[in-house]
Amino acid sequence: MLTDTIAAISTAVGESGIAVIRVSGPESINEVGRLFRSKTALPEAESHTVHYGFIVDPATEEKLEEVLVTVFRAPRSFTTEDVVEVSTHGGIFSVKRVMDLLLQQRGIRLAEPGEFTKRAFLNGRIDLSQAEAVIDLIRSKSDRAFSVALKQVGGELSRKVSALRHTLVETLAHIEVNIDYPEHDVESMTMEFIKQKCAAVSEGIDVLLKTANQGKILREGITTAIVGRPNVGKSSLMNALARENKAIVTDIPGTTRDVIEEYVTINQIPLKLLDTAGIRETMDVVEQIGVERSREAFTDADLILLVLSGAEPLHEDEIALMEQLKGRTAIVLLNKMDLPQQLDREVVRRYFSEESVVELSVKTEQGLDHLEEVIATLFFGGQLESNDLTYVTNVRHIALFKQAKQSLADAYEAADSGIPIDILQIDVRLAWEQLGEVIGDSAPDALIDQIFSQFCLGK
């Protein structure tokens, strides 16, 4: 399939200033050249040049669109193939006319999701961890997450993994020599050498895993469920954190009937906020469904914000919620502090530490800054790790690093116990392969296909 020429719309479909269609493959310049009319014939254009002209229907010579065409000749392109990018006017109809005409050409087919990036990987321009970082770059929900993804696209994680694998290659080479020429080897020295190398690589993995929890949060966000009884201020809190009116707020209990989602960034930490229906017994069928979905969000969330009204006595439903939160990561918000207080704080303190209780008034925005500080402290000890660190953000990478670390621990233990060196070699090689799977050197085809299927069509 690498011999095919592929095309796809690379910008979001809709009204915009411009839209871009990307064409990649051995026939891209010639095929687009058949449809493009300009002062310079496209097959004669130099690499990295932009040309103004018109896309025409070759059968009638009718001008279909005014465009700019950019030429990238192999290997100096994203895919390392000949690439042409056609910039049209933004809008569904204009870009569709050009795209339809391109796909009518015999030498061009529609690209599969992520196929441009997949070709860049298969052609050796980027490795698998860099390709996955492209997805993270597109889906970034905060400045910090974008910066981390950009460093990974640049190959920072790849270089560190490659260095660890190089150490293991040296170790495997030493083992091979020992197996082939045992008469020239001092076994005790070889075993000590293997232990030193395994320990060094394991320490390198520990450095990367140190940022795993933070990296995963930066990539995926913290799923945060706002729960509580009706009319305690859950939707108002959602709107205050989102800095816009995402949820309808009224004095009528049961106004929120479904789970409302919104991403916000607090102290550079992305939160996936879930505003849930007030949890209570109700005869309303629609509200019952909303309450059930609230309970599901409550179960699945990484962080629970339990909102209580300081202006009312505790309800038995709220005490039941606090019972359910034992062992969960949760913050209790005592809302409506601007009103006369009736809530018994001593009961709340039986379930939660002082650090997990935040007094605020969503109406006056008093205490919101303190809430942001508590969330940052809860997940990051108050601050993110240094910008200089390489964050591990991908769950797949984290799992492979842990597997490689276990393989190295097995190899170290085997060397310490005097296990035959040819048996010990299996664990060292397994660790090398597991690290290789991070960057794609030893990844199975099915995994590669699954990763690139997550991309949008034009990437």
Q: Is the bond preceding 182 in cis, omega lying within 30 degrees of 0? A: no
User: Is the model's pLDDT at 257 over the cut of 50?
Assistant: no
Q: How far is CA 182 from the centre of its chain?
A: 49
Least confident of 45-54, 181-190, 256-265, 333-342: 181-190
pLDDT score recorded for residue 77: 94
The more confident residue out of 115 and 273 is 115
The more confident residue out of 265 and 413 is 413
Average pLDDT across the chain, whole number = 82
> Are residues 240 and 362 in contact, defined by beta-carbon separation less than 8 angstroms?
yes
**pLDDT one-digit tens code per residue, 308-326:** 888 888 888 788 888 888 8
| Percentage of residues of the chain with pLDDT beyond 70 | 86
User: Is the model's pLDDT at 356 over the cut of 90?
Assistant: no
pLDDT confidence band for 250 (50 / 70 / 90): very low
pLDDT confidence band for 52 (50 / 70 / 90): very high
pTM exceeds 0.85: no
